[in-house]
Amino acid sequence: MRAAICAFALSCLAAGLAPKAAAADALEEFYRGKTMSLVVSSATGGGYDALSRIVAKHMVRHLPGAPNIVVRNMPGAGGVIATNHLYNVASRDGLTFGQLQNTLPFEPLLGNKEAMYDSSKFNWLGSPSIETGLFVVRAKAPVSTIADIQNREISVGTPGLNSTPSFNTRLLAEALDMKLRIVLGYPGQNEVFLAMERGEVDAFPTFYSSIMSTRPTWITDKTVKTIVQFGPIAEPDLKDVPFAADVVTDPEKLRLLKAAAAPLALGRPFTAPPDVPRDRVAALRKALTATFADPECMEDMRKLNLPLNQPRTGEQLQEVIAEVWRMPQETKDRLRKLSGM
Do 36 and 51 lie in one domain? The reply is: yes
The whole-number pLDDT of residue 211 equals 87
Taking CA atoms, 84 is separated from 35, 154, 190, 286, in Å, by 22, 38, 28, 25
Last residue of a domain, one of 221, 242, 262: 262
Do 100 and 39 lie in one domain? The reply is: yes
Do 140 and 249 lie in one domain? The reply is: yes
Do 112 and 226 lie in one domain? The reply is: no
Taking CA atoms, 255 is separated from 61, 173, 276, 329, 337, in Å, by 42, 15, 34, 11, 15
Q: Are 65 and 6 in contact (CB under 8 A)?
A: no
Mean pLDDT for 127-152 is 96
- The DSSP letter of residue 273 is -
pLDDT classification of 15: cutoffs 50, 70, 90: low
Longest dimension (CA), the chain: 90
Mean pLDDT for 162-175 is 90
pTM value is: 0.80
Q: What is the mean pLDDT of the chain?
A: 90
Q: Is the pLDDT of residue 294 over 80?
A: yes
CATH number where 297 lies: 3.40.190.150
Mean pLDDT for 19-46 is 86
Euclidean distance between CA atoms 194 and 157, whole angstroms: 10
- For residue 162, give the 3-state DSSP assignment: coil
Quote the domain boundaries for residue 248: 133-262
Euclidean distance between CA atoms 290 and 284, whole angstroms: 10
Backbone dihedral angles phi then psi of residue 235, each to the nearest 5 degrees: -75, 120
Residue 219 in any domain: the answer is: yes
Do 223 and 328 lie in one domain? The reply is: no
Do 144 and 237 lie in one domain? The reply is: yes
Q: Are 80 and 107 in contact (CB under 8 A)?
A: yes
Q: Quick: pLDDT tens for 248-274.
A: 999 999 999 989 999 999 999 999 999
Residue 216 in any domain: the answer is: yes
Do 214 and 169 lie in one domain? The reply is: yes
Q: Is the pLDDT of residue 13 over 80?
A: no
Q: Which residue has the higher pLDDT, 102 or 162?
A: 102
Q: List the end-to-end C-alpha distance of the chain, in Å, as a whole number.
A: 76
pLDDT classification of 293: cutoffs 50, 70, 90: very high
Last residue of a domain, one of 247, 262, 277: 262
Euclidean distance between CA atoms 65 and 6, whole angstroms: 35
Last residue of a domain, one of 262, 279, 309: 262
Residue 339 in any domain: the answer is: no
Do 24 and 87 lie in one domain? The reply is: no
CATH number where 212 lies: 3.40.190.10
Do 154 and 251 lie in one domain? The reply is: yes
Q: Are strands 96-99 and 68-73 parallel, antiparallel or unpaired?
A: unpaired
Residue 340 in any domain: the answer is: no
Burial of residue 119, with CB atoms counted within 10 A of its CB: 0-12 exposed, 13-18 middle, 19 or more buried = buried
How many domains does the chain fold into?
3
Do 289 and 189 lie in one domain? The reply is: no
To the nearest 10°, the Cα dihedral for 122, 125, 128, 130? 40
